[in-house]
Amino acid sequence: KALEAYQEAPEEPGAEKCIPMLKREDIRKEAAGFSNDFFAPFLQVLHSTSSKTPDEIRNICNIYNFNPDLKRVCMTLQLQNAGEDKEELRELIARLRNLLNADKYFLIYSHNFVSVFLLYPLADQDLDIITKSYALSTSLFKELESRFSLRIGISSAHFGVETIAVSFEESFKAITG
């Protein structure tokens, strides 16, 4: 829904400044199809080597309608046999969207993985958030394991713009050890 609203939003002057390497019209084209490149600016934020300032990160988050001020746990699902076949990744994304509560997550994907930021109110306790997220990851794994060869990793609870990359990296470390 947020993506559709973004796609239909009128052009705003200076929008290109928010994502210098990808113009707004290019985002619309990528969003229309299935492309790993659509999330490139957001994925760039997720790498700890990114030299983006908190304001730049917040601007990118706003473009993707991602609220960095909510508490979050990042859950990453990594396909083990995906290769270059996008069909398995498409199917995994569709199944996840059907299984997850639409208001409480932000999903990104690239090549052989899907990362889901599970979003929670600031008032929720970290231990409760981690417990809920772990239970959800276990439930998803049981639901998906008959169709997909995958590994799932989850991060600890985080909030704030400065910890988006940390939660993403923790979920990958949980997979790779």
DSSP one-letter string for 84-141: T-HHHHHHHHHHHHHHS-GGGEEEEEETTEEEEEEEE-TTS-HHHHHHHHHHHHHHHH
Model confidence, pTM = 0.76
What one-letter code names the amino acid at 145? E
Instruction: Give residue 133's pLDDT.
Output: 94
Q: What is the residue whose two structure tokens read 């599970």?
A: 118
Instruction: Give residue 7's pLDDT.
Output: 38
Instruction: Give residue 81's pLDDT.
Output: 80
What one-letter code names the amino acid at 147? R
Closest CA to 153 of 171, 134, 129, 138: 171
The series of mean pLDDT values per 10 residues for the chain, 177 residues long, is 40 40 38 56 71 85 89 94 78 91 82 92 96 94 93 95 91 89
Residue 174 phi/psi, 5-degree rounding, is -65, -30
Q: How far apart are the first and last CA of the chain?
A: 35
Q: 31 near 3, Cβ under 8 Å?
A: yes
Instruction: Give residue 73's pLDDT.
Output: 96
Q: 77 near 100, Cβ under 8 Å?
A: no
Instruction: Give residue 84's pLDDT.
Output: 66
Closest CA to 105 of 128, 84, 142, 76: 76
Instruction: Give residue 36's pLDDT.
Output: 54
